Amino acid sequence: MHYYNVKDLVEEAEKRAVTIGRVVKEMEAENLEVPVEQVEERMLAQWLTMKESAEIGLSEPKKSMGGLIGGEGKKLNDYRLNNKTLAGQRMNKAVSRALAVAEVNASMGKIVAAPTAGSSGILPGVLLTVQEELNLDDRRIVDGLFTASGIGIIIAQKASISGAEGGCQAECGAAAAMAAAALVELAGGLPSQAGEACAIALKNVLGLICDPVAGLVEVPCAKRNALGASLALVSADMGLAGIKSVIPVDEVIVAMGEVGCSLPDSLRETAKGGLAATPTGRELAERFLGKF
Ligand code: SF4
């Protein structure tokens, strides 16, 4: 069994009065021909790894392989703890964790690609924060991860989840859209509201290019994870408030794929355009390459 449209997934969930996460979980079990409990256990293991990556990223920050980033997640978290934040505690908690996980990835630590390693900070950043704030147990978060994965599968089928293919809209954009849908359901929203939040998040990043400085998944990647987490939270709130995307979510996803295909090669992970091609970006690339 497969779903190729978010609309179908939403309709199935609403017809059965269950979450998108539940539909996806059962679909996975059916496709893999294993009991539902087994796919839940596998997802729980992924969730525990996500949690660990956020904790390590904040408590033991390391410099990245290229030396361009490291410690910014902890810096933001410390700033937040001093109560100086403009964006609020919850937002900054999520954002600092997203940054921290992206830093763990850039220092070759263990993360969960969600949907890719480059965009691995967004889901743990927001889900850990919502878990704490809404007092949800790990099993509930696992349900949210199934919601996110259902959306991710459809984005991968209809568009792309690869920066080399579709730009960063397909990586950090997809992660934010997946996270927004999961957040809506974890907060008790309807599957249709999850679909709207997904569309709202993805629309906001249409055209976002992939331009890693020196070809390293460090700059601007980590900060795009941070801002992706904030996008997911705000999009979820918009969905929960009953705000709808005028363009239906499946059309947004197709548009994202088409925009990705029309991006020149220089803006699709080749490190030949965008920030990678700025004077500073080129200088950093030369310095990094000189290390070898
Ligand atoms: S800029 Fe490119 S490499 Fe970096 S996170 Fe985005 S898609 Fe991945």
The rounded Å distance from CA 273 to ligand 1 centre is 13
The rounded Å distance from CA 21 to ligand 1 centre is 27
pLDDT of residue 290: 78
Give a yes or no: residue 240 inside a domain: yes
The rounded Å distance from CA 200 to ligand 1 centre is 20
**Does the Cβ of 97 fall within 6 Å of ligand 1?**
no
Residue closest via CA to ligand 1's atom 8 equals 118
Give a yes or no: residue 47 inside a domain: yes
pLDDT of residue 254: 98
Give a yes or no: residue 32 inside a domain: yes
pLDDT of residue 257: 98
Give a yes or no: residue 152 inside a domain: yes
The rounded Å distance from CA 136 to ligand 1 centre is 31
On whether the pTM is more than 0.95, the answer is yes
> Which ranges of the chain have pLDDT less than 70?
291-292
For residue 115, whether the previous peptide bond is cis, meaning omega lies within 30 degrees of 0, is yes
| Residue 216 CB neighbour total at 10 angstroms | 20
Range of the domain at 253: 6-290
Report the number of distinct structural domains present in the chain.
1
| Dist CA 222 CA 170 (whole Å) | 15
The rounded Å distance from CA 175 to ligand 1 centre is 11
CA dihedral 130, 135, 137, 142 (to 10 degrees): -20
**Does the Cβ of 212 fall within 6 Å of ligand 1?**
yes
pLDDT of residue 234: 98
**Does the Cβ of 172 fall within 6 Å of ligand 1?**
yes
The rounded Å distance from CA 114 to ligand 1 centre is 13
Give a yes or no: residue 259 inside a domain: yes
Give a yes or no: residue 1 inside a domain: no
HSE-CB at 271 with a 13 A cutoff on CA atoms is 17
**Does the Cβ of 269 fall within 6 Å of ligand 1?**
yes
pLDDT of residue 291: 64
The domain that holds 278 is classified in CATH as: 1.10.4100
Residue closest via CA to ligand 1's atom 3 equals 217
Distance of CA 4 to the CA centre of its chain: 20
Query: Which of 217, 223, 266 to mutate to test ligand 1, by most ligand atoms within 8 A of the CB atom?
Result: 217
pLDDT of residue 84: 78
pLDDT of residue 292: 55
Residue closest via CA to ligand 1's atom 1 equals 210
**Does the Cβ of 227 fall within 6 Å of ligand 1?**
no
| Residues 196 and 236 sit within 8 Å (Cβ to Cβ) | no
